[in-house]
Structure 1
Amino acid sequence: MSYYSQYMKRLYENLIHQHLTELRQMAFLMGPRQVGKTTLSLEVAKKWPEYFYFNWDNPAERLLFIEGPSAIASQVNLDEIKQEIPILIFDEIHKFGKWKTFLKGFFDKYEKETKMIVTGSARLNVYKKGGDSLMGRYFYYRIHPLSVAEIVAPHIIENEIRTDPKPISDEDWNALLEFGGFPEPFVQRSKSFSKRLQAMRKDQLFSEDIRDATRIQEIAQLQLLAELLQKQAARSLDFQSLAKKVRVSTDTIRRWIEVLKSFYFCFSIQPWSKNITRSLLKEPKLYLWDWSLVEDVGQRNENFIANHLLKAIHFWNDRGMGDYGLYYLRTKEQKEVDFVVTKNNKPWFLVEAKTKKNSISRDLYRFQNETKAPHAFQVTLDLPFVSKNCFEETKPIIVPARTFLSQLV
């Protein structure tokens, strides 16, 4: 059992509090089930003078949503003058067919009387029923599982990179690798608890979320695809091979993978081809949001690094710090570097993920020369922490994952 309390302070707390304090727009919190969106919303709201929580899954509150904005407003007395305007949390409202129309109507009428947090365990554009545009009325924040940097320093900094890396304890490091970054399994550190939670999340994903939100009837085949993707994490997607195994068309496989991505089961990255001689152009590589589902150690470790990089670029983008992207590098001759992070459409740093210390990859030299990326790292998981800013280095260099990841988000 971890020494952590059941709630760990999240990096996102300050971000959402800052949003509510400074901006008029709704805050949309998006991310997988059990990543902590509801808990985060309530922790932020509890520091406010007054807040109200409404969940679409609660039958009584569902009726209020259906009745319309005035029913919610009446319930919380928005027509009365208040010393401080309250926070309203709308949890899982995207399951409501007319959620966009509801939010537009509510925001347009009560924008000055309340601050609003909206959460969703699917991308909030997946439910395409209902129609009015919410453009200009919200900013979204993608909530990720815990990461090394968030565990050792859960506060926001002005720049992208933390120049003062901090060590993570061996206990936390091992728990993060084994149990993943979803808060409850990380805190509990119990194999049986983790397995039970994974099974419950899987059942909810396929039997409730996807079934209710899409027209997919072949749920058993979709589950088979998800199981195959777990084995293919950190590898290029072979749509034809998957289609044969699942016994559907390649177009169906592509469509189903997009559905799984939209519900935060997996994500993919594309090859970066600008200025790369004989680069691959289309083959995506796939990773899981929960790296603890990946059985192969090497694949899991690469997935672990991928999650940290994706979390960082999402955080930087959602804060409006620039335009950041995550890709990989590979030529038709199979020369490869696992990741390239771009900043404003230019390669910024390269990352090659390694489980054990090896001689430095020659491909890092080649691709740094071709991309002109300022940094190139071989990030190694079994090296001890070093109190050194990795981003001071400009030539390809081997760095400990514990150090490098603590400098991200």
Structure 2
Amino acid sequence: MEIKRNKLLKKIEEEYEVHQVCALLGPRQSGKTTLAKTYMKNIDDQVHFFDCENFLHLSQLENPLLTLEPLKGLVVIDEVQLKPDLFGTLRVLVDNNPDQRFLITGSASRDLIHQSSETLAGRIGYHQITPFSLEEVDSNWQRLWEVGGFPKSFLAKSSKISERWRDEYIKTFLERDILGLGLEVSPQVAGKLWRMLAHMHGQILNMHNLSKSLGIDQRTVKRYLNILEGAFMITLLRPWYTNVGKREIKSPKVYIRDSGILHRLLNFSSENFQFNPSIGSSFEGFVVEEISRYFDCYENAYFWATHNGAELDLIINKGMKKIGFEVKYTDKPCVTKSMRIASEALELEHLYVIIPGTHNFRLDEKITCLGIANCSDLISK
């Protein structure tokens, strides 16, 4: 089975209309290298490929200016965060050769952006490469939700193989990847933190409880959370503030970004998946991630809640409009008092109630029930 990522390929092509350097950022094994190689095959130009995990390629890049300057066409540098001193060389090359283009991939977003933003300012564009989205898997939402979007998990021949792959991914992340991300803790403590976050999935982040349970001060916990967010492992969904005089929640909500990874952290299996008591919060996180991808609005996505109990799972800004989303794992959705309060207080253009399945129907003049499989319809609205 082949998953076509034409939308992402188009973004790469369009990026070169603006910048000479295009950066693909995303978690390890999310498909960045495959996407880069697909783009390489599709273009009618000279292509040169360097993998910073390949010792032979690394030796060629020890003198990057001598190696890269004579090359024409497209130069692809994979896992560039392993060779951060390249950014200064790329600036020199871009400024002196307008016909040369670079496609770079990296797995540590914030570090990579920090390293490149100053030296390549005005010369580079960034694109987040997530695991497979619902739009890319032909709305096969049930499998995507259960096993997540990492290619080797989604495309596995059986649920057992998928579960085994995700278990190994978690193990490798805890034993190897955290060292390169700056988490100065043992794999055991990092694993405890990640599993605690999984149990807090969809809830207001409680820094005090995390700090107390881990025996780490809150400043350190906050730094670790920022690192995990920068590595695309979690989402810290920020609260939306209004001026309506209500006592609003001002702490973020936390989500494990990939639902398949979440399910293994919570010990979900294919046999108990539908009966797990955490299935509602899991579905909420899955929808929040998919909607944020559809609108490409990670920086403009929020939730809203008051201490009086009114809340809304997701708010996105689309131009001058605010659109609200409430997620319900039910086949009998209805309009609630909380929805009406949120719609009025936030002055929403429209509110969508997202449920499992494919059903679409109006609940009210400004409230529509939308099956998760049809969320792509929102893009054209």
Query: Is the structural similarity TM-score above 0.5?
Result: yes
The 1:59/1:352 distance shift into structure 2, 3 A limit, reads same
- 1:33 corresponding residue in structure 2: 28
**Moved >4 Å (runs of 4+):** 126-132
Q: Does 1:123 align with 2:109?
A: yes
Match of 1:52 among 45, 48, 52: 48
- Structure 2 equivalent of residue 321 of structure 1: none
- Give the direction of change, closer, same or farther, for the CA distance of 1:216–1:102 in structure 2 (3 Å limit): farther
Residues 106 and 112 of structure 2 are in contact (CA less than 8 Å); yes or no, is this contact kept in structure 1? no
* Shift in alpha-carbon separation, 1:51–1:394, aligned structure 2, 3 A: farther
Paired residues, number: 364
Query: 2: CA distance between counterparts of 1:274 and 1:122?
Result: 33
Q: CA deviation at 1:137?
A: 0.9
Of 113, 120, 144 in structure 2, the residue corresponding to residue 176 of structure 1 is 144
Which deviations, in whole Å up to 9, do the C-alpha atoms of 1:181-239 show, x marking residues without a partner? 22232222522222232233223433333302426143421221011111211111111
- Superposed CA RMSD in Å reads 2.6
What does residue 210 of structure 2 align with?
242
The one of 289, 294, 312 aligned to 1:307: 289
* Distance (whole Å) between structure 2 residues aligned to residue 239 and residue 178 of structure 1: 29
Question: How far, CA to CA, are the matches of 2:57 and 2:161 in structure 1?
Answer: 31
> Is the counterpart of residue 8 in structure 1 residue 4 in structure 2?
yes
Match of 2:175 in 1: 207
Aligned counterpart, 2:266: none
Question: Is the CA contact (8 Å cut-off) linking 2:237 and 2:253 kept in structure 1?
Answer: yes
Pick aligned residue for 1:73 from 69, 72, 93: 69
Partner AA of 2:39 in structure 1: V
CA distance 1:203–1:88, shift in 2 (3 Å): farther
- 78, 81, 84: which is aligned to 1:91? 78
Write the deviation string for residues 76-120 of structure 1: whole angstroms up to 9, x where unpaired.
xx2xxxxxx52111111112242332332332333x232111111
Q: 1:118 & 1:365 partners in 2: Cα distance? A: 46
Closer, same or farther: CA 37–276 of 1 in aligned 2, 3 Å: farther
Q: 1:339 aligns with which of 309, 314, 317?
A: 314
SS at match of 1:185: helix
Counterpart pick for 2:353 among 378, 402, 405: 378
- One-letter identity of the residue aligned with 2:293: K
The answer as to 2:273 corresponding to 1:291 is no
SS of the aligned residue for 1:54 comes to strand
Per the alignment, residue 143 of structure 1 pairs with: 129
- Over residues 359-402 of structure 1, what are the superposed CA-to-partner deviations in whole Å (9 max), with x where a residue is unaligned? 22221211111111110111111x4344x8x8xx8512322222
The answer to whether the 8 A contact 1:353-1:380 is kept is yes
**1:132-187 C-alpha deviation (Å, 9 max, x unpaired):** 521101010111222222333xxxxxxxxxxxxxxx3xxx2321121112223222
Distance, in Å, in 1 between the alignment partners of 2:366 and 2:323 is: 11
Alignment correspondent of 2:339: 364
Partner of 1:159: none
Structure 1 residue 26 displacement after superposition: 0.7
CA contact (8 A) 2:153 2:166 kept: no
How high is the TM-score relative to the length of structure 1? 0.81
TM-score when scaled to structure 2? 0.87
Corresponding position of 2:200: 232
- The answer to whether the 8 Å contact 2:49/2:77 transfers is yes
Per chain length, whose mean CA-contact separation is higher, i.e. which structure has more relative contact order (CA < 8 Å, sep 6+)?
Answer: 1
137-146 or 287-296, larger mean C-alpha shift: 287-296
CA shift for structure 1 position 269? 0.9
Equivalent AA in structure 2 for residue 349 of structure 1: I
**CA–CA distance in 1 between the matches of 2:232 and 2:345?**
33
> Does 2:102 match 1:106?
no
Letter matched to residue 62 of structure 2 = I
Partner secondary structure for residue 125 of structure 1: helix
CA spacing shift, 1:257–1:12, aligned 2, 3 Å: same
Change in 2 beyond 3 A, CA 1:97/1:30:
closer
Change beyond 3 A, Cα 1:343–1:408 = closer
> Paired residue for 2:239, among 261, 264, 271?
271
Retained in 2: the 8 A contact 1:123–1:262? yes
Inter-CA distance 368–347: structure 2 relative to 1 (3 Å threshold): farther
Any idea what SS the aligned residue of 1:292 has? helix
- Residues 25/274 of structure 1: CA separation in 2 closer, same or farther (3 Å cut): farther
Aligned residue number for residue 354 of structure 1: 328
1:358/1:40 Cα in 2 relative to 1: closer, same or farther (>3 Å)? same
Determine the structure 2 residue equivalent to 1:402: 373
SS at match of 1:151: coil
CA contact (8 A) 1:326 1:341 kept: yes
Counterparts of 1:189 and 1:276, CA distance in 2: 52
The 3 A distance-change label for structure 1 pair 130 and 267 is closer
Q: For residues 108 and 348 of structure 1, what CA distance do their matches in structure 2 show?
A: 41
Letter matched to residue 402 of structure 1: A
DSSP 3-state at the match of 1:294:
helix
Distance 1:266 1:179 in 2: 17
> Residue 66 of structure 1: CA displacement?
2.4
Percent of aligned pairs sharing the same letter? 21
